Amino acid sequence: IQCIGVLTSGGDAPGMNAAIRAVTRTAIANGIIVKGIYRGYRGLITNEITSLETQSVSNIIQRGGTILKTARCDEFRTPEGRRQAHDVIVEHGIEALVVIGGDGSLHGARDFAQEHNFPIIGLPGTIDNDLSGTDLTIGYDTALNTIMECVDKIRDTASSHERLFFVEVMGRDAGFLALNGALATGSEAAIIPEISLEKDQLAEMIEQGFRKSKNSSIVLVAESEVTGGAMGVAERVKKEYPQFDVRVSILGHLQRGGSPSAQDRILATRMGEAAIEALLEGQRNVMVGLQNDELVLVPFAKAIKKDKPIDRHLLDVLRIVSR
């Protein structure tokens, strides 16, 4: 392989820049030319491509977001759009791609790789931690730390006013941020989609004497149609328990920003290097994952399966320690 392309796609995540840096510098160290593709798959179709040198990725390891920008691209969901992208790739002499993104991005990568017999290595870049085959995704740890800082602040006001706060965190249809965020902040409970599908978590919480012994409470709610979001949950409580002084806080996009944590920078750097090593070994159409602190290669089909289990025991732990 003499020339590779690298892109970031889907939602941005802190640590994507550290990954771009590691991919670029490892490739250059192996005599490979690197092309940076702007705005994810859209840049492949609109031909927004530039060469990346060692200096192009200087001073970015500490920056949130992605210097290559990111976008959602509906054309890439169609075979015709992917054919256009392939034409541009061929024009630039790009022989393999490194795609940094979430499950949608890896879906696209798998389809493109199959249709055009093209080597792609994926890196899990999403704050949601919802890719299978990897214990952690790039950006998750930083987002968790941001949630922790925010909820600590909410707790100050919640306890001063003796209020019940429902704090909505991101995660798409996964509860990793909500559950581990709740553990890290000493929150009373986490309402997560994995469980909401099976039972009414709010009703159970109240039945178990929720707020009996406390004068302020914080509950983290994962954004999702299944949970109803923090607004949906709060509305129900207000109706059924008018005595509670209920407030809602939606953390929103601030969870996506900020300088990446040490853990995310190190993870992104290790994974970026591993992506190039994998390509040099002839690997293709796999995502780099982390399992028990070892880097592994996970077939795209497994990574995007949406079956990553949440540790249910942690819900019991949360219940016990927040009494």
Chain residues that interact with ligand ATP, rule: CB under 6 A: 9-11, 41, 72-73, 76-77, 101-105, 107-108, 111, 126, 128, 172
Closest separation in Å from C-beta 73 to ligand ATP: 4
By beta-carbon proximity to ligand ATP, the closer residue of 126 and 196 is 126
Smaller CB distance to ligand ATP: residue 188 or 264? 264
- Give 291's strand partners: 294
Point out the catalytic residue in the list 74, 87, 111, 128.
Answer: 128
| Location of structure tokens 């249809």 | 173
- Residue-by-residue DSSP string for 6-64: EEEESS--TTHHHHHHHHHHHHHHTT-EEEEETTHHHHHHTT-EEEE-TGGGTT-TT-S
CB count within 10 Å of CB 256 equals 20
Using the minimum distance from each CB to ligand ATP, give the nearer residue, 154 or 222.
222
Strands (E), 223-312: 246-250, 286-291, 294-299
Determine the residue with CB nearest ligand ATP: 104
200 annotated active-site: no
Count Cβ atoms within 10 A of the Cβ of residue 10 and give its class: 0-12 exposed, 13-18 middle, 19 or more buried: buried
CB of residue 280 to ligand ATP, shortest distance in Å: 25
Q: What angle do CA 53, 56, 60 make, to 5 degrees?
A: 135
**Min CB(231)–ligand ATP separation in Å:** 21
Q: By 3-state DSSP, what share of the chain in percent is helix, strand and coil, each rounded to 5?
A: 45, 20, 35
CB nearer ligand ATP, residue 72 or residue 284: 72
Q: Smallest distance, Å, CB 307 to ligand ATP?
A: 15
Q: Which residues are catalytic?
A: 128
